Amino acid sequence: MHDLTLAAARKALRSRSLSSVELTDHFLSAIEKHDGQINAYITVTPEPARKAARAADALLAEGDAPALCGLPLGVKDLFCTSGTKTTAASNILRDFVPPYESTVTSNLLADGAIFLGKTNLDEFAMGSTNMTSAFGPVTNPWRRAGSDAKLVPGGSSGGSAAAVAAGLALGTTGTDTGGSIRQPAAYCGITGVKPTYGRCSRYGTIAFASSLDQAGPMARTLEDCAILLESMAGFDPRDSTSVDRPVPRYEDALERGAKGLRVGIPREYRTDTLPEEIAALWDEGIAWLRDAGAEIVDVSLPHTKYGLPTYYIAALAEASSNLARYDGVRFGARVEADTLDELYEATRHAGFGEEVRRRILMGTYVLSSGYYDAYYLRAQKVRTLIQRDFLSAFETVDVLLTPTAPSAAFAHEERPTDPVQIYLNDIFTVPASMAGVPALSLPAGLDRSGLPLGLQLIGRYFEEETLFAAGRVMEKAAGFTHRPALHAGAVA
């Protein structure tokens, strides 16, 4: 059961060879047994999950079960879930129980999904290591060959990625602001999709950077992601930035193949510091697509090098404003004080971790009078140029293929002390976020030490289907069946 994909589990449930209660119990006990070593979950909700599973079994028995009926998932603890603690991995929301449900999780629930619990993340989704969580770091289920060193799962959706990799959920929701789905998916050897900005509603998802945040699925396979995305996506009148266009059946696109597809290889991504084995894997990915009949085209995205600095200006500016509401006045943690200003200071100092505080300060700085033009405004202009890079590349190619991250997962202790070094992890994922175009990461191979590496496909606005089709070709060619050291099947 631990090796089931979401698609296989769906089939088993529908053929009644497996019940949702059995499946849910399996995952709950796997979490109980193994999550102590991984810390993928902040909150586990066994009772509501079992109750929902029993209801799902009843529906399945009747034969008119909705799309995700009875399938146990993990939800990144950034999506508000009605009646279930939603923390954003922050002390300031440690005990926050929202009285409302995010649109994405509402959609999943409406399709019959079972929520096992809320998965760990970097505090307020700010990080690429999942080390900034107020609920402790997540440990990547993978180990380097011959080493016990604990590795980071990537971030910010580190708990979601680790849960899937370790067999603690069939699939999970993630959010991606600058790579927060794709990079942890790559580090944990799973698949993650960041759809086009506006494809999934942001209503009820705790905001990091509103113009970049986008929810997406994380799962073992592209097929699983396609099934989940179809449920998560859709127009929502409560989110002004969600887009009103029909949601396709992504599953139908999976076997379209890559024949005649024009695949762009952005030369700016081939940096001097790119590790040789990542470059080699990238070449391998190119070969897979070429062998499937795709045409490989060299393209240029000339503003790529400005992606990272402008992303950190735009995202942190928005974050500094988005996080102003955590002030201890209406909800969440409060540290009492004599004056209002002291209450703000004490509450926010105690409530936010170091990285969040750093980002709020940087975001405040770039919006400040006298600096706005030099930082925020200029970053917005560069963002437009980055968008144009993609638009012009997509005039000649259908998708872009790049590595997902410049390295494999690193150890907790190896985490750089210089925040900028950590920010560099996002170098290949940030440009697609800045442009708002869809992108996915799929596991393509292992490095010399046995850690998974991911490749990224980037597509045109709302052409997730092309990504699924090209990705499926690579998925088949890669034949990635490796499982991490720590997973529900491997650990006795």
Partner 1 sequence: MSSYRIEGNTGAWEIVVGLEVHAQVISHAKLFSGASAEYGGEPNTHVSLVDAGFPGMLPVVNRECVAQAVRTGLGLNAEIHLMSRFDRKNYFYADLPQGYQISQFAHPIVGEGKVEIELADGTTRHIGVTRLHLEQDAGKSMHDQDPLRSFIDLNRAGVALMEIVSEPDIRSPEEAGAYLRKLRQILRYLGTCDGNMEEGSMRADVNVSVRKAGEAYRTRCEIKNVNSIRYVMQAIEIEAQRQIEIWEAGGTVDQETRLFDHVRGETRSLRSKEDAHDYRYFPDPDLLPLVIERDWVEDLRAALPELPEAKRTRLEQTYGISRYESGVLTVEQGIADFFEQVARDADARLAVNWMLGDFFGALNRTGATIETSPVSAEGLRELLGLISDSTINGKIAKEVLEDMFESGESASAIVERKGLRQVTDTGAIESEIRTILQTHADKLAEYKSGKDKLFGFFVGQTMKAMKGKANPAAVNDLLKKLLSE
Query: What amino acid positions are annotated as catalytic residues?
Result: 76, 156, 180
Contact 168, 38 (CB under 8 A): yes
**Of the ranges 259-267, 270-278, 366-374, 450-458, which one interacts with partner 1 (CB under 8 A)?**
366-374
Nearer to partner 1, 203 or 394 (CB): 203
Nearer to partner 1, 103 or 425 (CB): 103
Task: Figure out which of the listed residues 130, 156, 172, 205 binds partner 1, where binding follows CB under 8 A.
Answer: 205
215 near partner 1, rule: CB under 8 A: no
Contact 182, 467 (CB under 8 A): no
Task: Figure out which of the listed residues 19, 20, 39, 102 binds partner 1, where binding follows CB under 8 A.
Answer: 102
Total chain residues near partner 1 (CB under 8 A): 45
**Length in residues, the chain:** 492
Residues 6+ apart with CB under 8 A from 345: 337
d(CA 378, CA 365): 14
233 near partner 1, rule: CB under 8 A: no
423 near partner 1, rule: CB under 8 A: no
**Of the ranges 51-59, 198-206, 424-432, 454-462, which one interacts with partner 1 (CB under 8 A)?**
198-206
317 near partner 1, rule: CB under 8 A: yes
Nearer to partner 1, 210 or 449 (CB): 210
Segment 82 to 101, residues that bind partner 1, using CB under 8 A: 86, 88, 93, 96, 98-100
What residues does 119 pair with on adjacent strands? 41, 76
d(CA 9, CA 7): 5
3-state secondary structure of 171: strand
φ, ψ dihedrals at 2, nearest 5°: -70, -15
Task: Figure out which of the listed residues 11, 33, 238, 270 binds partner 1, where binding follows CB under 8 A.
Answer: 238
374: its two tokens: 């030099």
Residue type, 54: R
Task: Figure out which of the listed residues 5, 14, 66, 241 binds partner 1, where binding follows CB under 8 A.
Answer: 241
Nearer to partner 1, 237 or 489 (CB): 237
Count of CB atoms situated within 10 Å of the CB of 309: 16
Q: How far, in whole angstroms, is CA 171 from its chain's centroid?
A: 11
Task: Figure out which of the listed residues 97, 327, 388, 411 binds partner 1, where binding follows CB under 8 A.
Answer: 327
**Of the ranges 51-59, 295-303, 329-337, 436-444, which one interacts with partner 1 (CB under 8 A)?**
329-337
**Of the ranges 166-174, 188-196, 325-333, 453-461, which one interacts with partner 1 (CB under 8 A)?**
325-333
* Residue located via tokens 């991250």: 405
Contact 432, 194 (CB under 8 A): yes
Task: Figure out which of the listed residues 331, 358, 450, 477 binds partner 1, where binding follows CB under 8 A.
Answer: 331
**CA distance from start to end of the chain:** 14
3-state secondary structure of 487: coil
182: its two tokens: 């794709």
Residue type, 449: S
Interacting residues toward partner 1 by CB under 8 A: 79-80, 86, 88, 93, 96, 98-100, 102, 202-207, 209-211, 237-241, 317-318, 320-321, 323-327, 329-331, 340-341, 344, 364, 367-369, 372, 376
